[in-house]
Structure 1
Amino acid sequence: MSVSGARGEGTLQVALADDQALVRAGLRALLGQQGVRVVLEAEDGESLLARLERTAVDVVLSDVRMPGVDGIKAVRRLRERGDATPVLLLTTFDEPDLLLEAARAGAQGFLLKDAAPEDLHEAIRKVAGGSTLLQPVSTDPIRSRYRYHADDAPIAPFTAREVAILRLLAGGYSNREIARAMFLAEGTVKNYVSAILEKLDTRDRTRAVLKAITLRVI
């Protein structure tokens, strides 16, 4: 398990893993401009895992496709050893398989490399705060690749407000953030989320979002 106490007040500290040195240099410079500090770098998942045992971070920012231990395998091994550090995976591949693999492995976020710099900064901030980020991935391939049978259809229709909350869940918003955005009490949002999970027959918010995308609820 990695060392605790990563962050100085107000400064996010990240680990950066990518097999291309130029990509790492570009991301390091970009993050530095945004007030995010890269405290360790790795060229593959194996090096990342070893260095995280000695250095604590707020977020791991890792490429998916790397030689040897790739980003998804690295996440899985982090979770197996009890390290819950949030992981944001980056990829140039808009593939629904990767999204599902990342979610199963325990990653909190999945972002395409062509995302805008401000989206990257927002994604890091959100996963550091405990949110899950799925929104940046194209939804159409997920729908075409993963089709649910009729038996998996929602137990009951969704209200307009539930659909709105589902969209915010897909964007990685917490119950508190949803409450502020929709002018609702946090307890009310929690009740809505519970109802949504029940209608989709799942206890997991990430799975609920994936299923809602596939069923064209959002």
Structure 2
Amino acid sequence: MIRVVLVDDHSIMRQGLRAVLEREDNLRVVGEASTAVAAVAVVAAARPTVVLLDLKLSTGPQADGLELCRELTSAHPGLGVLVLTTFVEDRLVVEAVQAGALGYVVKDVDTTELVRAIRAVARGESAFDPRSASAMARALSGAGTGPERERLTERELEVLRLLARGLSNREIGRELFISETTVKFHVGNLMRKLLVGRRAEAVYAASKLGLL
């Protein structure tokens, strides 16, 4: 069972999300919060798998959710934070990942894509809608290449692009007509080459290098 906490300052948005998510067999909304203070308490009490987080909470600045994301992921290792917001600024997407978010989607995403993103984050994988992935790539593609890294193969780049869409190893295998074991091999190689330890970090690093 994937346990979800909703953090959004609009009650009607939370109600709509709850109605959508609880139609899914293995998703359960175990808490809601409209402020950062309430979110900290609810997450500590409910121990969710995933927090669905809006970046704009009513009493703070435009991106006060970023600090909350940082606080939650620091206090609860293994917690998956998926940003669900109306803002698609390049800087915010990058800063959300830096703050510990595993995914970033905008609020007009369709239900199927949202559920897929939640499931990916629950598995510890990254999930970005196409606009968010593009925003991160735009923001970081000119940031320099950093230390010399081993080049990714064409297949590894294909796997990386599907990782950025939040697909699981099994889904990537189906897309590329290769086995799940082979996908794991490519993911391991590309993470080693990018000098990272997590899938979301691989997407971030690849965007910084202009690979996405």
Mark yes or no: TM-score above 0.5: yes
Report how far residue 136 of structure 1 moved.
3.6
Structure 1 residue 193 corresponds to structure 2 residue 193: no
Alignment match, 1:54? 45
Tell me, yes or no, if the aligned pair for 2:84 and 2:106 is still in contact at 8 Å: yes
Equivalent residue in structure 2 for 1:18, among 1, 8, 26: 8
Structure 1 residue 44 corresponds to structure 2 residue 35: yes
SS at match of 1:53: helix
Q: Residues of 1 paired with 2:67 and 2:7: CA distance? A: 13
Tell me, yes or no, if the aligned pair for 2:93 and 2:132 is still in contact at 8 Å: no
Opposite residue 149 of structure 1, the aligned amino acid is G
Give ranges in structure 2 of 5+ residues lacking alignment: none
Q: Residues of 2 paired with 1:197 and 1:52: CA distance? A: 30
Q: 1:174 to 1:191 in 2, by over 3 A?
A: same
Q: 1:200 to 1:119 in 2, by over 3 A?
A: same
Alignment match, 2:20? 30
Structure-1-length-normalised TM-score: 0.79
Tell me, yes or no, if the aligned pair for 1:64 and 1:90 is still in contact at 8 Å: yes
Opposite residue 13 of structure 2, the aligned amino acid is V
Computed over aligned residues only, the root mean square deviation of the Cα atoms, in angstroms, reads 2.7
| 4+ residue segments displaced more than 6 Å | none
Q: How does 1:1-218 map to 2 (within 5 A)?
A: 7=1, 12-35=2-25, 36-66=27-57, 67-68=59-60, 70-146=64-140, 147-149=142-144, 155-156=150-151, 158-200=152-194, 202-213=196-207, 215-218=209-212
Q: Residues of 2 paired with 1:55 and 1:151: CA distance? A: 41
Tell me, yes or no, if the aligned pair for 2:106 and 2:129 is still in contact at 8 Å: no
Q: 1:149 to 1:62 in 2, by over 3 A?
A: closer
Give ranges in structure 1 of 5+ residues lacking alignment: 1-6
Opposite residue 90 of structure 1, the aligned amino acid is L
Tell me, yes or no, if the aligned pair for 1:135 and 1:171 is still in contact at 8 Å: yes
Residues 109-145 of structure 1 deviation map (CA, whole Å, 9 limit, x = unaligned): 1111110111111111111122111244344443443
SS at match of 2:51: strand
Structure-2-length-normalised TM-score: 0.81
Q: 1:125 to 1:143 in 2, by over 3 A?
A: closer
Paired residues in the alignment total 207
Report how far residue 167 of structure 1 moved.
1.0
